[in-house]
Amino acid sequence: MGLRPLILAPHSDPHACALVWAIEKQGVDPLWWPALPTTPGSHYSFHIDADVESLRSPADRIGAVWNRRLHEPTPHCAEADRNFAAWEWKMFQRSVFSIGSVFSHPLWVNPIEAARNAENKLVQLSVCRRLGIPFPETVVTTDAREVDALRARWGRIVFKSFLVHHWEEHDNGRMHAVGVTLLDGDSELPAEAIAVCPGIYQRYIEKACDVRVTVIGDRMFSLALRKASSGGFVDWRIHAGNPELRAEGIDLPSSLEDRLRALMAELGIVFGCIDLVVDKDGGFHFLEVNQAGQFLFVEEMLPAWPILQAMTAMLVSGRTDYALDSIEPVSMKAFWRSDRFLQLRDNVSETPPERTLYTVE
């Protein structure tokens, strides 16, 4: 058997399901683990000395590891030992996966430590500042006076939380979310509420459009998203099903593309979903990069773009300079007709996942 990919994700994850289906179409049998298997008979030995370091595990001949949605191992042990064993398994998994040489130097998409660092929004902006990538002026604060000063300077600002939070009202079941909010001169800035926890406040860019750049190894797929009328939404992601949202492929300026490649290299990641905005004068501004972002919706919006083909080719080859025509053709359209997609749909209808089937984070 040749090299095969290892996908680290729960079995309810639609992106992992699509990639497993696509990889199997290449005659390759991928491994699909939510975490290190802990079933009886699954043994591990990590050996390190002055000459070598190696891991003996249930996996062998791994060419690529996709760190999609890694969970913590679940120990099989007596209940009295569960807390101790769970922490030991957690620390062992974190330790061995932080060493890139495990499984004989596979391509990591993305390396564990680099992925964790790359998810830091402030680290991203700091790297952009060093590389000369424009981004909106940003203040992270608990002080309402700082927020008001930023608003006075720019008129309109955007509030963002570090994570998107959802909650449900017990009385009526109504769902709420904290994510992205536009603040202007009429918005209240209650000092007590702002002081509860740090928030991210940025200058609002008057948009011509949003741009989503999906970076898969050496390739970039750039998608412009705009209103059918004109301009862009404050947060286009919550308007994914809106008929007003229009999508089209675009070419980035070569100088910006070079800087985005430098950003990915500085963060140490080979896959990521970069969000940009374009202002009324045609200037590009960086918002964030999600190193584990959703990407298959791009092919749904623009079927001519071989997003699934690209990710499959990178994982099968274990190379960032993969050739698209080196594998059998796969597409989201074909996946949606497959038995595996029907199984996924049945599974999530019985046990609804935390996320919808395909989101646009």
Spans of all domains in the chain: 1-110+324-361, 137-203, 207-323
Confidence of residue 234 (pLDDT cuts 50, 70, 90): low
- Answer whether residue 101 shows pLDDT above 80: no
Residue type for position 311: M
Query: Which band of pLDDT confidence, cut at 50, 70 and 90, is reported for residue 358?
Result: very low
pTM of the model: 0.88
- Residue-level pLDDT at 306: 95
Query: Which residues contact residue 318 at a Cβ distance below 8 angstroms, ignoring those fewer than 6 apart?
Result: 3, 5, 63, 64, 106, 107
Residue 354 has pLDDT above 60, yes or no: no
| Helices assigned H by DSSP within 168-212 | 191-194
CB atoms < 10 A from the CB of 133, how many?
A: 20
Report the pLDDT value the prediction gives residue 186, as an integer from 0 to 100: 87
Edge-to-edge order in the sheet of strand 4-8? 31-33, 4-8, 62-67, 107-109
pLDDT(231) > 80? no
Confidence at 90, pLDDT banded by 50, 70, 90: very high
Q: State what percent of residues in the chain have pLDDT above 70.
A: 87
- Which pLDDT score is estimated for 105? 84
Instruction: Please say if the pLDDT value at position 157 is more than 60.
Output: yes
Flag whether pLDDT at 360 surpasses 60. no
CB 79 within 8 A of CB 22: no
More confident residue, 182 or 15: 15
Mean pLDDT of 44-73: 90
Alpha carbons 104 and 61: distance in angstroms, whole number: 8
Give me the pLDDT at residue 247, please. Answer: 86
pLDDT band, very low/low/confident/very high, at 342 (cuts 50, 70, 90): confident
Average pLDDT of the chain? 88
CATH class, range 137-203: alpha beta
Report, as an integer, the average pLDDT of 352-359.
Answer: 45
Which of 114-123, 235-244, 316-325 has the lowest average pLDDT? Answer: 235-244
Question: What pLDDT sits at residue 175?
Answer: 63
Q: Domain spanning 207-323 has what CATH number? A: 3.30.470.20
Q: What is the DSSP letter of 195?
A: T
pLDDT of residue 200: 93
Counting residues of the chain whose pLDDT is more than 90, the rounded percentage is: 68
What does the pLDDT read at residue 289?
Answer: 97
DSSP state of 284: E
> Average pLDDT for residues 245-262, to the nearest whole number?
94
Residue 15 neighbours by CB distance under 10 Å: 23
Q: What is the pLDDT of residue 356?
A: 44
Asked if residue 36 has pLDDT above 90, the reply is yes
Greater confidence (358 vs 138) lies with 138
Pick the more confident residue, 323 or 185.
Answer: 323
- DSSP letter at 236 equals G
Say yes or no to pLDDT of 108 above 50: yes
- For the chain, the straight-line distance linking the first and the last C-alpha, in angstroms and rounded, comes to 36
